[in-house]
Amino acid sequence: MRKLFFILILFIIVSSARAQELNTEVFNVVNLNYPGLEKVKDLHAKGKDKEALAALLDYYRNRKGINHPDVNLDNVKISKEEQKWADDGLKHVFFVHKGYQPSYFYGDDINWQYWPVQDNELRWQLHRTKWWQPMGKAYFLTKDEKYAKEWILQYMDWIKKNPLKENDENVRFAWRPLEVSHRLQDQTIQFLLFLNSPNFTPEFLSQFLVNYNKHAEHILSNYSDQGNHLLFEAQRELYAGVLFPELKDAPVWRKSGIDVLNRQIQLQVYDDGMQYELDPHYHLAAINIFAKAISIADANNFRDEFPKAYLDRVEKMIMVVVNINFPDYTNPMFSDAKLDDKKSMLRDYKSWTKIFPANKAIRYMASDHKTGTPPAHLSTAFKTSGFYVFRNGWTEGATQMTLKAGPPAFWHCQPDNGTFELYVKGRNFFPDAGSYVYGGDAEVMKERNWFRQTMVHKTLTLNNANLDSTDTKCLLWETSPQLDKLVIENPSYKELNHRRSVFFVDQSFFVIVDEAYGNAQGDVAIHYQMCEGKVNLSKNQLSAATQFDDKNNILVQCFPAQATQMVEEEGWVSYAYRHKAKRAAYAFTADKKNNDPVRFITVILPVEKEKSAPKIKALFENKQFDKKGLKVKVEVGKKKYNLNYTL
């Protein structure tokens, strides 16, 4: 034990000594001809490197004219949570991931390869060092040197134990470009928060700048191929170029960031404004990346380096969020999305209002519906990406369905074409299952794959298998105050097509007609999963109803064209990473024995109570499946509706 203590002390002394070592490589990475660095250049030329570094530190401590859009040093605040992360960080209990709480202890002598649960995210995100910025805030507000000392110690320890070598297992995690870019961004803020500490020595400045330069250079030659990672990396490379213009390659980083973002906004965002991963969470992340680039440009007067087409597309992306999210500011949890909260959405809208002050709908959302105006339309379609929205209003008492049925997409997208979420008067009755976890070892993947299954979505399956194909086409979209109509079709399985027709009737209830046609045989099922809470299932009536006592319930009833059974299924919903809750799930299933199509009408009716709900009837008027049209008759109480279309 004594020996261990001695080694620990020795290690701390060695680490501190390293931090105090001057890294002369700094003179190769800094542009000594940069305006303001005349003294640094002069001292370096005279061989007085230590003095040159002191002059450089002095320059940074007094630097004016470079504006960081994400931090205001006149108004630094730390939340309770951040204070805890900062204090835990001092004890090497590192806040790595919200899905893994309480945080793990990484050892007195930090083990940067510690991997208590084999979830890739846990190992990757350690290298985002998310507790360093809170330590910076805690330092800035208290001037307690314990935070600065520990940050510098950990910073140097990280450099020492995570060298960038080829064919190294650890490099795959520590130097993944996404994590590198994360550090690249956060360290711009840490730098400002710790800069005036007496522990931030000229020697440490040399270590910091060399390490920072290495990060930016690494991104430049290791950009991800596509997707949101590439966007994050480009935006952060731009940050590096703008916020450390004294480094030789800064103009290259800056130009590279702008070029990638300008190119990718055209490639990754469909003409209707949706990002091509078809995931509401990553769509939001993509907006914030593009918007951050504009914010840093505005703060430093170079917005004109982004063409109008770029700004127009960002605005369109925001309008997708305005439309697909629910009136209480929550989002559909399609694909790998988690549930975002109102507070963070209001913050986003407020920052977007600054970029697009003339957009009244963004202002309406930013002001919690108090100023500005909602969009002039109600229901709307984003046909290229396949997001369809039915609504009767924009405030919390409204009814809104968002349905997802688009083209093939990438890793974050799930095989869920045709699925939807339905919000009525403040309650989401059909939340998506969510994603629960991302990637990792077999055990983690098993959990991930459960939530990805087609059959845990509100759509049609053959033998409960995942869809073979996710390439839905829109055959019809019509909207009017009396009736909205959507007809979509997906070649779901080899020899089985799924046509789904959705009617939003009288701006109050939904009729969904599912028709599966093709030569495939087997068990054809349509699945439904409800929000948590008691649900009454009636297998005789083929119905399900929620049992809330606040007069806000939903009744689902199926009217099939063939012998059909109602079966209960396993139901889970995950609103946050590694959190899940049980919920009711069921399917209406029919045995498809031959080439005849299988057809279901499902009525989804908002009711005050199941007991007092009006009687529902529904039947097909065209007895045979017809590719060119549909005729359905529905009765709700005394009201009769003819729902039909011709293609």
Residues with catalytic function:
282
- Residue 630's H or E segment, with its range, is strand 629-636
Quick note: the x/- pattern for Mg ion over 153-192, rule CB under 5 A, is ----------------------------------------
- Beta carbon of residue 561, minimum distance to Mg ion (angstroms, whole number): 28
Query: Mutual orientation of helices 80-90 and 145-161 as an angle, nearest 10°?
Result: 60
Contact 324, 281 (CB under 8 A): no
CA angle 451, 455, 461 (to 5 degrees): 150
Please give the distance of CA 515 from its chain centroid, rounded to a whole number: 33
Burial 109-124 (b: 16+ CB within 10 A, else e): ebebeeeebebbbbbb
Order across the sheet with 639-646: list the strands. Answer: 616-620, 629-636, 639-646
- Beta carbon of residue 453, minimum distance to Mg ion (angstroms, whole number): 9
Residue that is written with structure tokens 């979505």 in the block: 457
Contacts of 529 (CB under 8 A, 6+ apart): 430, 431, 433, 456, 457, 458, 569, 571, 573, 583, 584, 585
* Cα distance between residue 39 and residue 45, in whole Å: 10
Of the candidate spans 89-97, 363-371, 408-416, 580-588, the one that interacts with Mg ion by CB under 5 A turns out to be 408-416
- Beta carbon of residue 420, minimum distance to Mg ion (angstroms, whole number): 11
Nearer to Mg ion, 40 or 333 (CB): 333
Nearer to Mg ion, 254 or 498 (CB): 498
The token pair that represents 252 in the structure block: 């290259």
Interface with Mg ion in residues 416-475 (CB under 5 A): 432-433
- Beta carbon of residue 416, minimum distance to Mg ion (angstroms, whole number): 5
Quick note: the x/- pattern for Mg ion over 527-566, rule CB under 5 A, is ----------------------------------------
CA distances to 14, 312, 461, 498 from 415, in Å: 53, 30, 11, 13
Interface with Mg ion in residues 257-296 (CB under 5 A): none
Contacts of 330 (CB under 8 A, 6+ apart): 339, 340, 341, 342, 423, 428
* Cα distance between residue 280 and residue 413, in whole Å: 10
Q: What is the 3-state secondary structure (H, E, C) of 108-141?
A: CCCCCCCCCCCEHHHHHHHCCCCCHHHHHHHHHH
Of the candidate spans 222-230, 412-420, 499-507, 513-521, the one that interacts with Mg ion by CB under 5 A turns out to be 412-420
Nearer to Mg ion, 332 or 606 (CB): 332
Nearer to Mg ion, 295 or 335 (CB): 335
* Cα distance between residue 533 and residue 519, in whole Å: 39
Q: Which of 260, 161, 252, 256 is nearest to 211 (CA)?
A: 161
* Cα distance between residue 8 and residue 451, in whole Å: 45
- Beta carbon of residue 448, minimum distance to Mg ion (angstroms, whole number): 11
- Beta carbon of residue 543, minimum distance to Mg ion (angstroms, whole number): 24
Positive or negative, the CA dihedral 83, 87, 90, 95 is: negative
- Beta carbon of residue 419, minimum distance to Mg ion (angstroms, whole number): 7
- Beta carbon of residue 503, minimum distance to Mg ion (angstroms, whole number): 24
Of the candidate spans 319-327, 407-415, 482-490, 638-646, the one that interacts with Mg ion by CB under 5 A turns out to be 407-415
Contacts of 464 (CB under 8 A, 6+ apart): 455, 523, 525
Nearer to Mg ion, 433 or 554 (CB): 433
Nearer to Mg ion, 281 or 599 (CB): 281
Please give the distance of CA 178 from its chain centroid, rounded to a whole number: 14
Nearer to Mg ion, 191 or 429 (CB): 429
Nearer to Mg ion, 264 or 453 (CB): 453
- Beta carbon of residue 537, minimum distance to Mg ion (angstroms, whole number): 22
Using CB under 5 A as the binding rule, whether residue 414 contacts Mg ion is answered as yes
Quick note: the x/- pattern for Mg ion over 600-639, rule CB under 5 A, is ----------------------------------------
Amino acid residing at 434: G
Contact 597, 615 (CB under 8 A): no
Helix (H, G, I), strand (E, B) or coil at 498: strand
Q: How many residues bind Mg ion (CB under 5 A)?
A: 3
* Cα distance between residue 226 and residue 203, in whole Å: 38
Q: Is 537 exposed, middle or buried (0-12, 13-18, 19+ CB in 10 A)?
A: middle
Nearer to Mg ion, 207 or 335 (CB): 335
SS3 of the chain: helix, strand, coil, percent, to 5: 40, 25, 40
- Beta carbon of residue 468, minimum distance to Mg ion (angstroms, whole number): 18
Torsion angle (degrees, nearest 10) of CA 358, 361, 366, 367? 100
Of the candidate spans 74-82, 414-422, 484-492, 552-560, the one that interacts with Mg ion by CB under 5 A turns out to be 414-422
Q: State which residue has the least CB distance to Mg ion.
A: 432
Of the candidate spans 260-268, 351-359, 406-414, 440-448, the one that interacts with Mg ion by CB under 5 A turns out to be 406-414
Nearer to Mg ion, 130 or 500 (CB): 500
Instruction: Read off the DSSP letter of residue 379.
Output: S
* Cα distance between residue 320 and residue 381, in whole Å: 10
* Cα distance between residue 87 and residue 134, in whole Å: 9
Nearer to Mg ion, 82 or 340 (CB): 340
| Helical ranges in 62-102 per DSSP H | 80-90
- Beta carbon of residue 435, minimum distance to Mg ion (angstroms, whole number): 7
- Beta carbon of residue 53, minimum distance to Mg ion (angstroms, whole number): 53
Nearer to Mg ion, 201 or 414 (CB): 414
What are the residues binding Mg ion (CB under 5 A)? 414, 432-433
